[in-house]
Amino acid sequence: MARFENAVEIYKKYGVDVESALNRLSEIPISVHCWQGDDVTGFESRAALSGGIQATGNYPGKATTPDELMNDYEFALSLMPGKKRINLHAIYAITEEKIERDNIKPEYFDKWIEFAKAQGLGIDFNPTFFSHPMSSDGLTLSHPDKNVRDFWVRHGITCMETAHYIAQKIGDKVLYNLWIPDGLKDIPADRLTPRLRLKESLDKIFAVRYDDVICAVESKVFGIGVESYTVGSSEFYMNYAAKNGICCLLDNGHYHPTEVVSDKIPSMLAFNDYVALHVTRPVRWDSDHVVLFEDELREIAKEIVRNNAEKRVLIGLDYFDAGINRISAWVTGQRSMAKALLYALLMPYEEMKRLQDAGDFSRLMVLGEELKTLPFGDVWDEYCSRAGVPCGMEWFELIRGYEDRVLKKR
Ligand code: RNT
Ligand code: ZN
C-alpha cells in the first residue's frame, strides 16, 4: 500500500492521475480467445490444424473435451484482471450431432452462452474456414470450383446467424471476424480473378447483417505453404471494408516485418467507427507466440488510450503456444495486454501533445525517457489486487497446483 501511495505521488508530479487510469483500465474489454486452450483443435475432429497456421509443441495436459476446455478457461479467466470477453471459433461447437460446417446450428453454442453468462462475459465469434477437407488445397471463398465456394459461403452465413443468436441471448454485440487461409505456394498466373471470386463470396455472406453483430475481415501477408500469394491481402480487405461499411481486423502478425499495427490504428480511426485487433507476437513470422509486455504492444496500447478509442478499438488476443503450460500462456498474454494499457494510461498525453505541436522535441524525448522508469509495477500490483487476482509469482503457483491436480491426470 505504501508503495502504491508513493507511486501515486510520483505520477502526480508528472500530471498523471493514477486513480482515473485504474478506473479507465478496468472498463476496457479484452477478448480472450478460446483456442489457446487446445492448440486450435476444436471439437469437430482430431484432424491436424491447417490453413497456413501452426501450433508447435506438445506440452502435456491439453484440453480435449468441452468440459476440460471450459474448466481450464474458467480457471485462466479467474487469474486475469479487468473486463474480459470470450472469443469462440465455429469448430468449438458443442453437440452430439456430426458438425456440418455449412449448417452450424446456433444452439450448438448454448453451452458457451451459459458459460459466458455465468461469468458475466460478452462473446465474440469466428467462422472456421480451415482444418477441413473442403479447404485441404488451401482455398475456400476464392476457390475456382463454385461448389467449394458455395459450401464456404453457406458456412459464413450460418455463422453470421449464429453470431446474431449469441448476441440476442447475451444481450450484447458480438464481433464476427472472418479470416480465410486462401493463397498460393508459388507465383500465381492470375492474381485478380481469385480476388474477384472472394469479393463475390463476401457479398453473399454479408448480404444480411444484424445491428447486434459487428462484422470484420482479417487480412494476412502470407502463411505456411501459401508463401507467394494471399487472396485476402491488406489492400483487398481495406477496400472491401470501406466500400461495404464493415470493419477491418488487424492482426499484428500479418504484416511485413517493419510495418507496425500501432501506426495503422490511428489511420483506421480517421475513417472508421471501429477497428478490431488480433494481438499476437510474431517471432520472425506469424508464429503466434504468447503476447509479452514489449515495445510494440505498448505502442498499440498508447494509440488506443491517447485517442480515447477504447470503445472503438476492439481488442482480441490471438496466439497459441503448445510448448508450455497452456493456462500460463493464456494468462500471461492477457496480463501483458492489460499491463500495456495501464502503462499507456499512465502518461501525460495533453502535455506530450502540446510539446509535439510546439516543436519542443528535446523536452518530449527526455520526458518520454523519464516516464519509462516510474514505479509502474506498484500501480500494476494495486490494479491486480483491486481486481481480486493474485500478483507477483503467486498466480503462477496456482497454475502449477492446477497442473498437478488436473492437467497431469489427463
Ligand atoms: C490466422 C489468423 C486467424 C487465426 C484464428 C485461429 O493467421 O490470425 O485469426 O489465428 O482465427
Ligand atoms: Zn488472427
Picking from 300, 307, 306, the residue whose alpha carbon sits closest to that of residue 269 is: 307
Separation CA 334–CA 341 (nearest Å): 11
Residue to probe by mutation, ligand 1, list 92, 227, 251, most atoms within 8 Å of CB: 251
pLDDT reading at 247 higher than 80: yes
Question: What pLDDT is recorded for position 48?
Answer: 82
Q: Whose CA is nearest to atom 9 of ligand 1?
A: 179
Percent of the chain beyond pLDDT 90?
98
Question: What pLDDT is recorded for position 46?
Answer: 75
Minimum-distance ligand 1 atom for the alpha carbon of 318: 10
Separation CA 54–CA 33 (nearest Å): 16
Question: What pLDDT is recorded for position 393?
Answer: 95
Distance 279 CA to ligand 2 centre (A): 8
Separation CA 142–CA 169 (nearest Å): 33
Tell me the pLDDT tens digit for each residue of 153-166: 999 999 999 999 99
pLDDT reading at 218 higher than 70: yes
Residue 254 annotated to the active site: yes
Residue 218 annotated to the active site: yes
Tell me the pLDDT tens digit for each residue of 5-28: 999 999 999 999 999 999 999 999
Mean pLDDT of 397-406: 98
Tell me the pLDDT tens digit for each residue of 286-343: 999 999 999 999 999 999 999 999 999 999 999 999 999 999 999 999 999 999 999 9
Minimum-distance ligand 1 atom for the alpha carbon of 52: 7
Minimum-distance ligand 1 atom for the alpha carbon of 128: 11
Separation CA 132–CA 17 (nearest Å): 51
Scored b (16 or more CB within 10 A) or e, 282-293 reads beeebbbbbbeb
Q: From the CA of 181, which ligand is nearest?
A: 1
Residue 220 annotated to the active site: yes
Question: What pLDDT is recorded for position 219?
Answer: 98
pLDDT reading at 215 higher than 80: yes
Residue 286 annotated to the active site: yes
CB-based contact 343:376 (threshold 8 Å): yes
Residue to probe by mutation, ligand 1, list 34, 36, 44, 53, most atoms within 8 Å of CB: 53
Report the phi/psi class of residue 400: left, alpha or beta, with left for phi > 0 and alpha for psi in -120 to 50. alpha
Residue 288 annotated to the active site: yes
Separation CA 182–CA 229 (nearest Å): 9
Picking from 339, 325, 344, 317, the residue whose alpha carbon sits closest to that of residue 387 is: 339
pLDDT reading at 1 higher than 70: no
Which residues, judged by CB distance below 6 Å to any ligand atom, belong to the binding site of ligand 1?
Answer: 35, 40, 53, 126, 179, 218, 220, 251, 278, 286, 318
Distance 206 CA to ligand 1 centre (A): 20
CB-based contact 176:214 (threshold 8 Å): yes
> Which one from 38, 72, 288, 303 is the annotated catalytic residue?
288
Question: What pLDDT is recorded for position 212?
Answer: 98
Tell me the pLDDT tens digit for each residue of 122-132: 999 999 999 99
pLDDT reading at 194 higher than 70: yes
Distance 376 CA to ligand 1 centre (A): 32
The position carrying cell 472491401 is 240
Residue to probe by mutation, ligand 1, list 131, 218, 315, most atoms within 8 Å of CB: 218
Distance 216 CA to ligand 2 centre (A): 11
pLDDT reading at 45 higher than 90: no
Q: From the CA of 127, which ligand is nearest?
A: 1
Minimum-distance ligand 1 atom for the alpha carbon of 320: 10
Tell me the pLDDT tens digit for each residue of 47-100: 788 899 999 999 999 999 999 999 999 999 999 999 999 999 999 999 999 999
Computed over every residue of the chain, the mean pLDDT equals 97
Separation CA 266–CA 312 (nearest Å): 11
In CATH, which superfamily holds the domain spanning 27-345? Divalent-metal-dependent TIM barrel enzymes (3.20.20.150)
Instruction: Give 201 or 136, the one with higher predicted confidence.
Output: 201
pLDDT reading at 373 higher than 70: yes
